[in-house]
Amino acid sequence: MKPFDYRRAESPSDATDAGARIIAGGTNLLDLMKLEIERPDTLIDINRLDLKAIEETEEGGLRIGALVTNSDCAADPRIRRDYGVLARAILAGASGQLRNKATTGGNLCQRTRCGYFYDTAMPCNKRDPGSGCQAKDGFNRIHAVLGASEACIATYPGDMAVAMTALDATVEIESKGGETRIVPVADFHRLPGDTPERDNVLDPGDLITAVTLPPPPGGVHLYRKVRDRASYAFALVSVAAVVTIADGRFERVALAFGGLAHKPWRDPRVEELLTGEEPGPALFDEAAEMLLADAEGHGHNDFKIPLAWRTLRAVLTEASERGDTA
Amino acid sequence: METRLSINGDTHMLDADPRTTLLDALRNHLGLTGSKKGCDHGQCGACTVLIDGRRINSCLTLACMHDGQEITTIEGLGEPGNLSPLQAAFVRHDGYQCGYCTPGQICSATAMLKEAEQGWPSYVSDDLDGAPALDGEEISERMSGNLCRCGAYSNIVDAITQVVGERA
Ligand SMILES: Cc1cc2nc3c(=O)[nH]c(=O)nc-3n(C[C@H](O)[C@H](O)[C@H](O)COP(=O)(O)OP(=O)(O)OC[C@H]3O[C@@H](n4cnc5c(N)ncnc54)[C@H](O)[C@@H]3O)c2cc1C
Ligand code: SF4
Ligand code: FES
Ligand code: FES
């Protein structure tokens, strides 16, 4: 690890004005600092800031402080009751130990990455802009099939943000000087384009202060994660679904996908296609076909396209069965 | 930099480079070698310790970030002649072969039982609000952050199951 200065933030402005790298749980940042992939000169520890509460909003939703740990978020009775998809997605991620440390803000900002990003002997446009992408013609089993670019085909590995995307959650960001802006989680992460070194829309000095959930959407909440082992592994494909069924038809459908792209993937056209229709295998196939029409494999990851197809079909089947009795 | 660490009830003043992880502080600076280093990247759980009663990977956190918090390591859970219930159950069920992962397994299981008592669900719980019954599937899922290269998993689950039964 490269030497750094360590400081503690006593107020949000200490964090935004320090020109330093924020550390929260440290589970992603220290992992990368040990390999000198991340090399901050100064770390600002935000753990003493007052961002640890989950509060009800005037609109009837919940505001989750940036330092609420993944464990506390998934254990919160209101999240479990009204936002099951989020509790399930968090519980699908990492391990009990990591979730006790991982924070809401840090989890959102965990690097979009791949094995070559970790291997400093290899070219990687994300780690070292302009050096090339080793994954394109290398081992690319876990890589993206949607929204990738010439420069980078990595996938966003997180689970929590996939559920937050399906829930229409928003991120609250405080910048240098104290200004605050609100960004939908769906727009927080970026596609790689020509600048894969930027995973998300944060500028240096930006501090995430909270994530806000809109009022409870009701309906059936599902998070299905398909991976190489049953637990403690990143998603090959994941689907977050919040689905309401009335009179035998889809009344409201929100779907977000992990493991497919450089960011949590949402396709409003697919949701429109399903809304108002009677659930059934032919409709599910039509939805999957629309979702994956532009999907492109790179060899080892070709299997993700049929896997995403089948996972979506399975989730819609389960949602319609449960929705009918709900 | 100076950090005041409270470990197993004793206060230690640590004067170390801020790069020092909590795991390296315990093992190399304070002589508490019960916590093990397997991967040093949060992937194996051998370094698991409790902070204010919660399990974490001590390899992925800096010692200086824990000034003033209560840290419990395997040395603090029990000792020969005075084993904790989980320590005794691991001995009884042979919940190990080489023993390298064992301190992490036991620290992790200690906190895991508390999480379940508080009603925390897991990914495999059918119901998100019910009090989860710790069957084999629940225990395996909740303990998935602790790998065992020797593959002693079935005996580890048996040991934990015994303690679950004693508490019921
Ligand atoms: C072995 C292993 C397995 C894992 N498996 C999964 C998995 O299956 N699913 C999954 O989703 N995740 C998984 N993770 C990733 C884990 O969820 C993240 O490491 C964690 O959520 C990061 O949160 P943190 O608080 O520790 O972030 P940190 O490491 O502290 O920070 C991460 C980044 O976010 C920035 N940051 C932190 N807080 C803020 C803030 N408030 N404002 C602005 N920037 C901020 C930091 O500067 C840094 O760049 C795994 C990690 C490991 C090590
Ligand atoms: S896919 Fe992206 S992160 Fe992986 S090697 Fe290519 S540029 Fe780097
Ligand atoms: S040594 Fe910490 S998790 Fe492996
Ligand atoms: S007993 Fe050898 S690693 Fe678990």
Give A12-29 pLDDT, tens digit per residue: 999 998 889 999 999 999
Share of chain A above pLDDT 90, in %: 98
What is the rounded CA–CA span in Å between residue A151 and residue B72?
46
pLDDT at A167 over 60: yes
Candidate from A32, A112, A114, A156 with most ligand 2 atoms within 8 A of CB, to mutate: A114
What average pLDDT does the segment A118-137 reach?
97
pLDDT at A324 over 80: no
In this complex, the residue of A25, A45, A88 whose CB is nearest that of residue B123 is A88
Backbone phi, then psi, for B44, in 5-degree steps? -125, -25
Can you give the pLDDT at residue B132?
84
Provide the whole-model pTM.
0.98
Work out the minimum CA distance from B127 to partner chain A, whole angstroms: 9
Q: What is the whole-number distance in angstroms between the Cα of residue B103 and the centre of ligand 4?
A: 10
| Cα-Cα end-to-end distance for chain B | 46
| Cα-Cα end-to-end distance for chain A | 53
Can you give the pLDDT at residue B106?
98
Residues of B near A (Cβ–Cβ under 8 Å) read: 1, 17-19, 21, 40-42, 45, 48, 54-57, 60-62, 64-65, 108, 111-112, 115, 118-123, 128-129, 140-146
**Mean per-residue pLDDT over chain B, rounded:** 97
Share of chain B above pLDDT 90, in %: 96
Q: What is the DSSP string of chain B?
A: -EEEEEETTEEEEEE--TT-BHHHIIIIIS--TTS--SSSSSSS-TTEEEETTEEEEGGGSBGGGGTT-EEE-HHHH-BTTB--HHHHHHHHHT--SS-SSHHHHHHHHHHHHHHHHTT---TT-S-SSSPPP--HHHHHHHTTT---TT--HHHHHHHHHHHHHHH-
User: Between chains, do B144 and A231 touch, taking CB under 8 Å as contact?
Assistant: yes
Can you give the pLDDT at residue A120?
96
User: Between chains, do B129 and A71 touch, taking CB under 8 Å as contact?
Assistant: no
> For residue range A275-313, what is the model confidence (pLDDT) as tens digits?
999 999 999 999 999 999 999 999 999 999 999 999 999
Q: Is A160 exposed, middle or buried (0-12, 13-18, 19+ CB in 10 A)?
A: buried
What average pLDDT does the segment A133-162 reach?
98
Can you give the pLDDT at residue B167?
86
What average pLDDT does the segment B74-100 reach?
97
* Atom from ligand 3 closest to the CA of residue A97: 3
Indicate the pLDDT class of residue A41, thresholds 50, 70 and 90.
very high
pLDDT at A81 over 70: yes
Q: What is the whole-number distance in angstroms between the Cα of residue A95 and the centre of ligand 1?
A: 12
Can you give the pLDDT at residue A323?
84
> For residue range A259-279, what is the model confidence (pLDDT) as tens digits?
999 999 999 999 999 999 999
Rg of the Cα atoms in chain B: 16
User: Between chains, do B129 and A81 touch, taking CB under 8 Å as contact?
Assistant: yes
Whose C-alpha lies nearest to ligand 3, atom 3? Answer: B42
What average pLDDT does the segment A53-80 reach?
98
Q: What is the whole-number distance in angstroms between the Cα of residue A39 and the centre of ligand 3?
A: 21
Can you give the pLDDT at residue A5?
97
Indicate the pLDDT class of residue A325, thresholds 50, 70 and 90.
low
User: Between chains, do B145 and A5 touch, taking CB under 8 Å as contact?
Assistant: no
Q: What ipTM score was computed for the predicted complex, to two decimals?
A: 0.98
Can you give the pLDDT at residue A18?
83
pLDDT at B124 over 60: yes
Candidate from A109, A237, A257 with most ligand 1 atoms within 8 A of CB, to mutate: A109
Q: Quick count: other Cβ atoms within 10 Å of Cβ A229?
A: 7
In this structure, what token pair is assigned to residue B3?
A: 């950090």
| CA-wise closest residue to B32 among B40, B43, B24 | B24
Can you give the pLDDT at residue B120?
97
Q: Which ligand is nearest to the CA of A96?
A: 1
> For residue range B128-139, what is the model confidence (pLDDT) as tens digits?
987 789 999 999
In this structure, what token pair is assigned to residue A178?
A: 């104290």
Is B2-77 in CATH node 2.60.120.260?
no
Residue ranges per structural domain of chain B: 2-77, 85-167
Can you give the pLDDT at residue A90?
98
Residues composing chain A: 326
For every residue of chain A, which 3-state class applies, written as one string?
CCCCEEEECCCHHHHHCCCCEEECCCCCHHHHHHCCCCCCCEEEECCCCCCCCEEECCCCCEEEECCCEHHHHHHCHHHHHHCHHHHHHHHCCCCHHHHHHCEHHHHHHCCCECHHHHCCCCCECCCCCCCCECCCCCCCCCCCCCCCCCCCCCECCCCHHHHHHHCCCEEEEECCCCCEEEEEHHHHECCCCCCCCCCECCCCCCEEEEEEECCCCCCEEEEEEECCCCCCCCCCEEEEEEEEEECCEEEEEEEEEECCCCCCECCHHHHHHHCCCCCCHHHHHHHHHHHHCCCCCCCCCCCHHHHHHHHHHHHHHHHHHHHHHC
Q: Which ligand is nearest to the CA of B59?
A: 3
> For residue range B56-83, what is the model confidence (pLDDT) as tens digits?
999 999 999 999 999 999 999 999 999 9
Q: Which CATH class is domain B85-167?
A: mainly alpha
Can you give the pLDDT at residue A203?
96
> For residue range A213-255, what is the model confidence (pLDDT) as tens digits?
999 999 999 999 999 999 999 999 999 999 999 999 999 999 9
* Atom from ligand 2 closest to the CA of residue A125: 7
Indicate the pLDDT class of residue B143, thresholds 50, 70 and 90.
very high
pLDDT at A326 over 60: no
Q: Which ligand is nearest to the CA of B38?
A: 3
